[in-house]
Amino acid sequence: MNWSPDIFKSYDVRGVYPSQLNDGAAEAIGLAVASLSGDKKIVIGRDMRLSSPALHQALLKGLIAGGAVVSDIGLVPIDAVYFTTNKFSYDWGIMITASHNPVEYNGFKIIGRGGKWLRGAELKDLVLQNFKPAPTPGHVANLDIWPEYIEHLLSFVDIKKLKPLKVVVDAGNGMAGAVIPKLFAKLPFKLSPLYFELDGRAPHRPFNPLMPGAAAAASRQLRQTGADVGVMFDGDADRVFFLDEKGKFVSADVTLLLLAREFLNREPGAAIAYNLICSKAVPEFITKWGGRPLRSAVGYVNVAKQLAENNGVMGGELSAHYSFRDNFNTDSGFIALLVVLELLSRLNNPLSQLVKEYSPYFKLPEINLSVANKQEMINRVKKNYGDAAIDELDGITITYPDWWVNVRPSNTEPLLRVTIEANTEKLLQQKQTEVLNVIKDYGIPKHEIRNPK
């Protein structure tokens, strides 16, 4: 085995190519997934990363050796794999992507029909069984999924209600560049495009829109063109980030409220899922609008699970994944985009005003602390705030009437992740200092605090 077992993460497979994740690993993963497949029907897609063609061929080699009947849908965004898997009843769908990770990374996300996910740890156990090739090899055929996929996306909006909004779309040389032209060709919006060429080198900005400086070009184009709204996608286009007409980022939990408002307008009383590090404004507004909030642990798989188990209409999280019941409980950046644009078409208020309305509390970006003994630190935070309302759905959440904090362990790194929100800016600053001092007093050097602001 000349690849790293560390490529198997909580939800998927990711690693640096070829030092951690290589063609041998891809072939072994293909053989394992084929051996797990009942009907041997598997669909695969890939993104624009430079290593994706080589991993694609190696994955195919393993799948065919395992006897799989493979439909290859080529260069697609990840939600096209989700759509094809569920709509046409494939056993498994495999997307070759590392999503928003830097260019040297690649990986695999694997979904089964009916909302199943093949998580990294489960896949690792399968791969290490060293499956033998099937007696009869499988085969592969190309499949053009684009017409059905675009029609599916458009089914989430009433085109007659859409206005000719001016929209800046920054595809970041990722898979959104292949989708937006096909989608907007059927819509009344005025498109102002940025970086639509598929390019695995990410020559203009990182695949992660949240990296420092990544939004500069989109923000500048918004202001220069007088556009109504801006949008940025990550590499595989499952995450979408909005900028208001002033070029300022919209927090993902505010975007979740925009989506929730639209879906509750369509389906009064519906359930909306959110993860526990979203602002407490999220369940408050959902309840105010007559909806039913569903609280989940962090992670897009957990949001999808809440939707499936409670018949929720949609859900989202702070990382800008948005999942939809009628999209087989999976996420799609394009559906989120279309639904928000329909809402903006109907309302007279600019996006910046809506953002202000839906942001009544004060919250800072997640703080990451380097620490080896993660659980011990969580236990000591719990002890320090023993008089609070406490829950342990994901790490520990400490709640008081005027502020709350969540401290949770990273699944993949020796990090504690800290999220704090308060009713006032002054209290937020005070509690941030207080919580960090509680942790630092137990041996966390100051220089190991990341993103303290």
Q: Could you tell me the two tokens for 224?
A: 């220069």
Angle ∠(319,322,326) on CA atoms, nearest 5: 165
The answer to whether the beta carbons of residues 106 and 55 sit under 8 Å apart is: yes
How far apart are alpha carbons 110 and 347 in whole angstroms? 38
How far apart are alpha carbons 22 and 209 in whole angstroms? 26
Q: H-helix or E-strand containing 398?
A: strand 396-400
How far apart are alpha carbons 252 and 190 in whole angstroms? 24
| Phi, psi angle pair for 368, to nearest 5° | -110, 130
- 332 among known catalytic residues: no
What region does 428 belong to: left with phi over 0, alpha with psi -120 to 50, or beta? alpha
How far apart are alpha carbons 289 and 188 in whole angstroms? 29
Catalytic one among 51, 99, 251, 279? 99
How far apart are alpha carbons 89 and 69 in whole angstroms? 13
How far apart are alpha carbons 332 and 80 in whole angstroms? 9
How would you label 191-228 residue by residue, b for 16+ Cβ within 10 Å and e otherwise? bbbbbbebbbebeebbbbbbeeebbebbbebbeeeebb
Radius of gyration of the chain (CA): 22
> Annotated catalytic sites, by residue?
99
